[in-house]
Amino acid sequence: MIKVGDRIPDVKLTLATADGPQPTTSGDYFAGKKVALFAVPGAFTPTCSARHLPSFVEKADEMKAKGVDEIACTSVNDAFVMGAWNQAQGSGDITMLADGNGEFAQALGLTMDGSGFGMGTRSQRYSMLVNDGMVEQLNVEKPGEYSASSGETLLGQL
């Protein structure tokens, strides 16, 4: 599993933009900026929609005031789903990084087995602060919990 001080692995991701899916790599996306990243098991799922995404939307201005350049959310969903979720519940302050094949979650060592819920392999719930591709903070949730990876927690670490 990735840890504080490690460099983010370079894998393919897709940005969900107003102009449609835009391919990128994690190496390119995280280069030269400070990013508050959070990961959810699935867009439109209950805790992710009711608590996790809203916590980062609500704290976006405060995070940016403390030096965060971008706030990004990743999930093992396609860019169309991630874009629709952000449009339905997010804000322009959140960049959606689709990890459609789960390659990013796997490269980080942060996958979970959601097959009991019909979801297959997904990302664990976490948040991290990434500065120019290096992990400065990492908050991985215990299974079934939500608090360590919240926007409030990450804001307190800035």
Task: Determine whether 48 is an active site residue.
Answer: yes
- Whole-angstrom CA distances from 86 to 56, 81, 116, 120, 134 are 12, 9, 26, 22, 26
Q: Which of 39, 40, 48, 97 is catalytic?
A: 48
Nearest to 128 by CA among 144, 145, 105, 112: 105
Q: Six-digit token pair at 10? A: 């370079």
**Where in the sequence numbering do the catalytic residues fall?**
48
